[in-house]
Chain A
């Protein structure tokens, strides 16, 4: 443990300097992740059925956003901006949303296994989408029929969880149990309506439910980016509250936190964030669960740094998974939700079996 070696030099330095150094390490980790993502954008965009040189990728990016810079070739431009960039950028934002929500739900619910998947948000979105796909009806029409329905039903799921748990004691345990109940309910409902539907419709509903970044269109970003920015800033502001909530309700109350209200607000905001992403790309498991744990192993449990770090690790995981999904059986494209599970499961088992010390 590197912390041990730092604490040896305690006599020469003030606690403030030591703490400062310790936090600087975390900031460096976050900065490193941002760099990694920039590199991954280039690598991911250059790989595919038509391989492009890295230079073309960055040239295309720079020339789009700035008036100067190198001219990019027309084919590269089409391949990149029509096919590859939308899914790569969606991978980044969706990964962030999932990684952030994972951290938030785990600390607010005081449970290392909590993630958006377990809270039934994704299965409710799946049900909403199935309704739209199979019956062609929904609350919004046109291009947003499926996404709108998925979003609405994931909000209904959150509403049920919050209402029921608030009627009792708004404790973490109640929220988790109602979340699991809601998840099973919506899964059963989805199966139920699929049972009576046409084979083709069932197939496309099934495909929707397995997360796929290929559905992304540029218009989606008008919703995803503002939502991500607003929710991220709010949640970042509440990270200290989250640290204290994870130490137990009684402790949190004695430190002046109105536990009930704070837990409910944070749950609503984080659910909103993940619903806003899931409704466009479908359910993607494991990213929300694994990213927080990876980061906790590296930079410790302080949510102020864990929140952005986990968001970035989520983005990295999703870019890598999606690139694998696009290329491994090319020309066939495997839905990214399958790959995150394939990569996530062994990795997660590795963490459980070989982690050092008591981390969660």
Chain B
């Protein structure tokens, strides 16, 4: 499976967000997209499954151009875990995860959809919560439900928009372990927008570092997470240490310009 994007250019109104970006992902890897607020990381990821339509550029999955496809077809190929989930009305965990089966059926869920959802719930230990309301769960559990829904989509690519931003360190690691295990087991591609550089460094196979809508650096975490890159992108003086080959970033002070 190959995913690539080419010449992605995006602006919201007159504000340019992404400048002519191209990249090629490889099989079964975890790619973290990092960068300061407003650098365009979330927008880039949303361009991949056309949640945001770029003005220019194309996305290709296995040689097929994604831009022209019906949303339903895109949803079969890309699972998406949003940053926040809206609970206007109560929905049970089961019903929430079942939404992931929507691209495959039209009117209502069939028995096989429920079987698939049950399988995902067992995998993520969500069974005891099946009929609880999603809004009643803790932050970590809620995030797991969102991931379960994306798993139920059975897509080849999983997109995450800051999946761990509202979780404590234990749950951050739990969610990231889950992502890593799934990627390895199912040979899928996971692309994550992450703020926490240390989490990116520990789990990602490759890191895309962005600055002002451009890709500043790409590659192995230890090549990307350097004191120079962090200074250039974040305007922050930092100390990068190494824990068994994994870079650990300690921010020290910001640079006034």
Contacts and interface: CB of A to CB of B under 8 A. Distances in A.
B131 A240 contact: no
B103 A255 contact: yes
A6 interface: yes
A10 B88 contact: no
Given A7-B131, A22-B131, A254 B90 contact: no
B153 interface: yes
Interface stretch (B6-14, B31-39, B114-122, B195-203): B114-122
A296 B164 CA distance: 31
A6 B91 contact: no
B102 A256 contact: yes
A244 interface: yes
Contacts of A34: none
A16 B118 CA distance: 7
A64 to B, nearest CB: 36
Interface stretch (A86-94, A141-149, A183-191, A298-306): A298-306
Contact of B91 (A7, A253, A301): A301
Interface stretch (A40-48, A72-80, A103-111): A103-111
B240 interface: no
A257 interface: yes
A245 to B, nearest CB: 10
Given A15-B118, A243-B95, A250 B82 contact: yes
Interface stretch (B19-27, B68-76, B214-222): B68-76
Contacts of B49: 254
A301 B129 CA distance: 16
B130 A247 contact: no
Nearest to A245: B88
A256 B130 contact: no
A357 interface: yes
B94 interface: yes
B128 A358 contact: no
Interface in B80-130: 80, 82, 85-92, 94-96, 99-100, 102-103, 106-109, 111, 114-115, 117-118, 121-122, 127-130
B132 interface: yes
Interface in A1-24: 3-4, 6-7, 10, 14-16, 18-19, 22
A240 B89 contact: no
A7 B128 contact: yes
Contacts of A255: 75, 99-100, 102-103, 153
Contact of A301 (B72, B89, B130, B153): B89
Contacts of A16: 111, 114-115, 118
Interface in A288-336: 296, 300-302, 304
B127 A10 contact: yes
Contacts of B232: none
A289 B127 CA distance: 34
Given A112-B89, A243-B99, A301-B89, A357 B114 contact: no
Contacts of B106: 237, 240
Contacts of A256: 70-76, 102-103
A253 B51 contact: yes
Given A3-B132, A301-B89, A247 B99 contact: yes
Interface string A254-269: 1111100000000000
A240 B108 contact: yes
B85 A106 contact: no
B193 to A, nearest CB: 13
B89 A244 contact: no
Given A7-B129, A7-B130, A300-B92, 18 more contacts: A3-B92, A10-B130, A15-B117, A15-B121, A15-B127, A16-B115, A19-B131, A237-B107, A240-B107, A240-B108, A241-B102, A246-B91, A247-B96, A254-B82, A296-B89, A300-B91, A301-B91, A358-B136
30 contacts: A7-B128, A7-B129, A7-B130, A15-B94, A15-B118, A15-B122, A15-B127, A15-B130, A16-B118, A19-B131, A239-B108, A240-B102, A247-B86, A247-B99, A248-B86, A250-B82, A254-B82, A255-B75, A255-B102, A255-B103, A256-B73, A256-B74, A256-B75, A296-B89, A300-B90, A301-B91, A358-B90, A358-B135, A359-B89, A360-B90
Q: Which 8 A-B pairs have the closest CB atoms?
A: A256-B75, A254-B80, A256-B72, A15-B118, A256-B103, A3-B131, A248-B86, A301-B89
